[in-house]
């Protein structure tokens, strides 16, 4: 029993580390390539993360649409291709910004120090945290039975479980071999397939990932 709990705890720690790596470090690292040209946001880690996510979304869109429509590739192909390009971009960004990173972290430390001296900052942070938790819990439990949400999550779960992309009708579970009907909306805007990809990378079931992790990261 204790060994099982230990393995579960270790698994949870690994998952949290993977989430932090793929959803915080990677976007911020990639985004530093863009912010180095932004005078106003040159030292902003938040803006770097935003630019990094925009880059990751754009790359996923450019890769997923032809892989789904023209090739009918598997989720693994999409994952390995996207992941390889993203990791390469991350390493490249860290390399070209290696000297600037010290300035960025120093700026962030000074900014935090200034915030500590501001009145009511602690209260605002506490209220913000409560708001984040409330919204994350609301998304997880109150929207779970919505038809569009069920279909949205089911598409990601099918991709995650069967290593396919939009070859199974999410409502009926029938294998179609290609997008049909409403599935074409997902084929041209495959955000649910992207979440399935990230679920693979962070070793978390898509339903948990999409209802708990994604809202928490983006609300923050």
Give pLDDT tens digits for 101-135.
887 777 777 766 666 656 666 677 677 778 767 76
How far apart CA 149 and CA 168 sit, in angstroms, is 17
For residue 2, the SS3 value is helix
Minimal CA–CA distance to 33: which of 84, 87, 95? 95
Residue for token digits 């997923």? 64
Mean pLDDT (whole number) for 80-93: 96
Report pLDDT for 44: 83
pLDDT over 70 percentage in the chain: 83
Phi, psi of 72 (to 5 degrees): 70, 40
pLDDT at 136 over 90: no
pLDDT at 56 over 80: yes
Residue for token digits 């029993």? 1
Q: Model confidence at 46, in pLDDT bands (50, 70, 90)? A: confident
Q: What share of the chain is helix, strand, coil (3-state, %, to 5)?
A: 75, 0, 20
Mean pLDDT (whole number) for 12-36: 92
Report pLDDT for 99: 82
pLDDT at 202 over 90: yes
Say what the pTM is.
Answer: 0.81
The residue among 166 and 151 whose pLDDT is bigger is 166
- Cα dihedral angle (61, 202, 140, 154), rounded to 10 degrees? 60
pLDDT at 145 over 60: no
Query: Residue 168 gets which letter from DSSP?
Result: B
């Amino acid at each position: 029993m204790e060994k099982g709990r230990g393995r579960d705890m270790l698994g949870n720690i690994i998952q949290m580390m993977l989430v932090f790596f793929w959803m915080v470090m990677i976007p911020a690292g990639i985004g530093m390539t863009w912010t180095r040209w932004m005078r106003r946001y040159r030292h902003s880690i938040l803006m770097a993360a935003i630019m990094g996510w925009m880059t990751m979304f754009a790359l996923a869109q450019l890769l997923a649409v032809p892989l789904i429509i023209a090739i009918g590739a598997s989720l693994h192909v999409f994952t390995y291709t996207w992941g390889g390009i993203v990791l390469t971009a991350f390493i490249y960004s860290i390399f070209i910004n290696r000297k600037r990173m010290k300035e960025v972290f120093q700026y962030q430390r000074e900014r935090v120090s200034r915030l500590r001296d501001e009145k009511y900052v602690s209260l605002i942070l506490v209220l913000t945290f409560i708001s984040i938790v409330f919204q994350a819990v609301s998304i997880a439990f109150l929207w779970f039975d919505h038809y569009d949400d069920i279909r949205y999550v089911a598409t990601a779960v099918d991709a995650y479980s069967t290593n396919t992309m939009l070859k199974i009708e999410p409502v009926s579970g029938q294998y179609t071999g290609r997008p049909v009907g409403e599935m074409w909306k997902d084929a041209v805007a495959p955000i649910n397939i992207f979440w399935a990809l990230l679920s693979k990378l962070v070793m978390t079931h898509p339903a948990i990932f999409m209802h708990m992790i994604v809202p928490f990261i983006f609300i923050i």
